[in-house]
Structure 1
Amino acid sequence: MKPTIALVGRPNVGKSTLFNRLTRSRDALVADQPGLTRDRHYGHGRVGSKPYLVIDTGGFEPVVDDGILWEMARQTLQAVDEADAIVLLVDGRNGVTPQDKLIANRLRQSRQPVYLAVNKAEGMSPGMAAAEFHELALGEPWPVSASHGDGVRELIETILEPFPDETDEESKRHPKFAVIGRPNVGKSTLVNAILGEERVIAFDQAGTTRDSIYIDFERDEKAYTIIDTAGVRRRGKVNETVEKFSVIKTMQAIEDANVAVLVLDAQQDISEQDATIAGFALEAGRALVVAVNKWDHLDGEQRERIHRDVARKLGFLDFARFHYISALEGKGVGELFKSIDAAYHAAMIKLSTPKLTRILQLATERQAPPRVGLTRPKLRYAHQGGMNPPIIVIHGNSLENVPDSYTRYLEGLFRKAFQLQGTPLRVQYKSSTNPFESEEKGAKPGLLKHRAASKVQLKARIEAKEKARAVADGRVTPKPVKPAAKPAGGKPAAGGRGKPAPRGKGKR
């Protein structure tokens, strides 16, 4: 089993920078602002000779007892309990602070080994950078630079030395789904309800989650990865730089996931921003499940209004399953998870080429594509061109003239035949070129003309070889080369052997 290393320290000492250095990624948000990281963030360590997991934590405030800082401290303490080794990160340029002493006293009570890393030590003498931190009584301080990488590998090798060697086996493919939506609609509450524990901070404040949190878990002995994302606001209301980064991380999480779970707030109207977020997931080709949260506090009239609002504003999600749940009470979460599983299987399905072609033939027999001018598009056969989303490639002639309405007709038949519930479906056309197409229409030379030109060239080569062979055998005398003709006026041609004109007698 891979060892786990937790990065702990007060705010703005470089924990997320060190996390990105160890994972060789940009998974953790980094900015010159304290309190940016709030939840536990896991990653696979790639710096060092052994595989391991690394946990990025929020700024540790051990003396607070309420509010968001208390939630962050609780997350940090849970990461300390999960870890096999702890790295206490301090700021080498600010020196020892009272908060560093409190954190050191708290970590000294843990059973895991604690390593003291003095960050931001670039350009400083290692002895001078580490001298002041001996008073924390956590062993020999390690001067490092998370941004430049100085001393990081040596620290990691020392931490990993007590652990046995293990091979870093590639993880098997498993479902990965992202929970997306506007701020404060209950995404983190839903994540905790699915996991059965308070894994991420769920707070009654918009914008609590700022980063995309990847969480691996098992359900019914099957591996999954759930991604808790930050809420996506309208562009005009995104003012903070950090919040702009959070939106980017949410978009990247949608691209990285197989299934997107769109969470809506039943106590608010379905907004244009909800449709925009759903449209982005649809454009990325991700399978989609819609969860209308906070459903338990509505009366019959309000529920009917939400049903009409959903049908009117999210009608383009007719392929997705809608669930009306209460994440806080855990109602409807089980059925929601079944739809997530079904959407993943539909997105990753393998489609049989013979069955696709038979369905295509039945579709054209039932309703042929409309005629365009004097020609009618001919759809010959189909095969699968990709997964997540499923892509069906249709071959034939004049397919560039197939209208969008007929494409939607084919999508509906394919979806019904293969029971593709929960995933978008894409139909692509690939027209065959006409080998007898003429050059007058601006097309490439036809096949017959190309064959005729090839025959002429082959005949010329054979005749040249026969003539060269006859000259070599003496059967044919080669014709003498004629001298270059003299130009008018008696002067020799350029490059000829005529007598050069005497110097000084030319016309001036």
Structure 2
Amino acid sequence: MKPTIALVGRPNVGKSTLFNRLTKTRDALVADQPGLTRDRHYGHGKVGGKPYFVVDTGGFEPVVDEGIMVEMARQTLQAVDEADAVIFIVDGRVGVTPQDKLIAQHLRQVGRPVWVAVNKAEGMNQAVVTADFYELGLETPVAVSASHGEGVRELLHEVLSRFDDVEDEPAQDHPKFAVVGRPNVGKSTLVNAILGEERVIAFDQPGTTRDSIFIDFERNQAHYTIIDTAGVRRRGKINETIEKFSVIKTMQAVESANVAVLVLDAMQEVSDQDARLASFILETGRALVVAINKWEAASAEQRDRIKREIARKLAFLEFAKFHYISALSGHGVGDLFKSIDAAYAAAMIKIPTPKLTRVLQLAVERQQPPLSGKVRPKLRYAHQGGTNPPVIVVHGNALEQVPAAYWRYLEHTFIKTFKLQGTPLRVQYKLGANPYASDDRPGSKPNPRTKLRGA
């Protein structure tokens, strides 16, 4: 099994920068602002042929007793308990602080090997910058620069030398779903309910989650990856640069997922921002499940109101399954997985060309496309052009003359026949080449234009 390395330290010492360096990604948000990272953030890396897991943590405040910093400290302690080794990151330009001493005192008691990484040491004498940190009583301090990469490889070799060589585990295809929605609708509470533990910070404060947190887990012997995301506000209310980056990370999480779980609040109206977020999910072609949270707490009047608003504002999501749940009590949470599994299966379906063509021909026999002047468009055959979302490419002649209503008829035929519940469907057409037209005449080559529609 790969060793797990936890990155620990007080706020703003460069943990997320080192995480990005170790994983060769930009997954962790980085800014010159203390307390940016709040939840545990996992990633993969490899150095010298040795793979490992690395865990980014929030700024460790061991003496706080209230507020969100308590939850951040608890997340850090849990990461240390799970880890095989700890890299304690300190700031070489500031020197040893009282908080560093408190953290070191705790780490000496956890029974894990702990290395001290003296960060921000670029351009400094290594012997001088590390001298003060010997008093922490841990492994020999190593001078590094997370932003420039200096000393990082040497530190990793030292850490991994304590562990046996392991082979990379083969990549597995499994559902990856992102939990998205406006701030404070209960996304992190839902993630914790799904996982059965306080894996991410759920706090009664909008904007608690700032980064997208990827979590691998198993349920009924099936593998999943869940992504907790930051709440997406209306553009005019996004003021902080950090929040703007959080929204970007949420959009990227949707694009990297197979399925999006859109969380609505039964206690609030369906806003234009909810509709815009749903539209973005549809535009990216991701499968979708809608969870209306806080259902048990909603009054009968509130329940009737949100159902009417869903029918009015989210009618374009007719392909998605809707669930009325309570993330806090767990009511209805288990049923989400039936829809997530079905949506994933529909999004990733692979349909043989003969089957698609037979369904297309039967649909044409039942109802031919209308005449366009004296010409009737001819739909000859179809093949699948992609997955997530499924793309069906129809070949024939004069297809640009097929009206939108007929394309919708074909879409519904494909959806019904192949049971594509929970995913949008995109139908494209491709015109056949005219073998008698000269190459320099318009229309002598296949028309590259496509027609896209969501189911």
Give the TM-score band, short-chain normalised.
over 0.9
Name whichever of 359-368 and 3-12 sits farther off.
359-368
Of 6-15 and 402-411, more deviation after overlay is shown by 402-411
Q: Which residue of 2 aligns with 1:210?
A: 210
For residues 355-377 of structure 1, the C-alpha deviation after alignment (integer angstroms, 9 at most, x for no partner) is 21111112112221122222121
CA contact (8 A) 1:23 1:47 kept: no
1:26 maps to a residue whose letter is R
Q: 1:92 to 1:377 in 2, by over 3 A?
A: same
Shift of 1:442: 4.2
Deviates more, 1:260-269 or 1:332-341: 332-341
Equivalent position SS for 2:50 = coil
Give 1:34-433 correspondences, 5 Å limit: 34-433=34-433
The TM-score normalised by the length of structure 2 is: 0.96
Query: Would you say how many aligned residue pairs link Structure 1 and Structure 2?
Result: 445
Q: Are residues 180 and 439 of structure 1, via their aligned partners in 2, closer, same or farther at CA, if it must alter by over 3 Å?
A: closer
Q: 1:219 to 1:425 in 2, by over 3 A?
A: same
Distance of 1:68 and 1:392 partners within structure 2: 49
Change (3 A) 1:7 1:440: closer
SS in 1 for 2:359: helix
Partner deviation per Cα, 1:53-99 (whole Å, 9 max, x = no partner): 00000000000112100000000000000000001000000011110
Query: What are the ranges of 5 or more consecutive residues in structure 1 without an aligned counterpart?
Result: 446-508
Describe the SS at the equivalent of 2:156: helix
Unmatched runs of 5 consecutive residues or more in structure 2: 446-455
Which residue matches 2:448?
Answer: none
Cα-to-partner distance string for 1:15-61 (whole Å, 9 max, x where unaligned): 00000000000000000100000000000023443100000000000
1:4-23 CA-partner distances (Å, limit 9, x unpaired): 00000000000000000000
Change (3 A) 1:443 1:51: closer
Q: TM-score, normalization: structure 1?
A: 0.86
- CA distance in structure 2 between the partners assigned to 1:17 and 1:279 by the alignment: 33
Question: Which residue in the other structure is 1:455 paired with?
Answer: none
Whole-angstrom CA distance in 1 between matches of 2:443 and 2:251: 43
SS of 1:282 mapped into structure 2:
helix
Q: Corresponding residue for 1:503?
A: none
Residues 48 and 153, structure 1, Cα contact 8 Å, conserved in 2 = no
Query: 2:19 maps to what in 1?
Result: 19
2:272, 2:238 → 1: CA distance?
16
C-alpha distance 383-439 of structure 1, shift in aligned 2 (>3 A): closer
- The higher relative CO (CA closer than 8 Å, separation ≥ 6) is in 2
Q: Distance in 2 between matches of 1:358 and 1:372?
A: 24
Higher-Rg member (1/2): 1
Query: 1:342·1:421 contact (CA, 8 Å) conserved in 2?
Result: yes
* Alpha-carbon separation, structure 2, partners of 1:442 and 1:88: 67
**CA distance in 1: counterparts of 2:151 and 2:440, whole angstroms:** 71
Q: Is the 8 A contact 2:433 2:443 kept in 1?
A: no
Question: 3-state DSSP class of the match of 1:71?
Answer: helix
Shift of 1:300: 2.4
Paired with 1:95 and 1:396, the residues of 2 have a C-alpha distance of 72
* C-alpha separation in 2, matches of 1:71 and 1:439: 68
2:248 match: secondary structure = helix
Do 2:433 and 2:444's aligned partners in 1 also have CA atoms closer than 8 Å?
A: no
CA deviation after TM superposition for structure 1 residue 350, in Å:
1.2
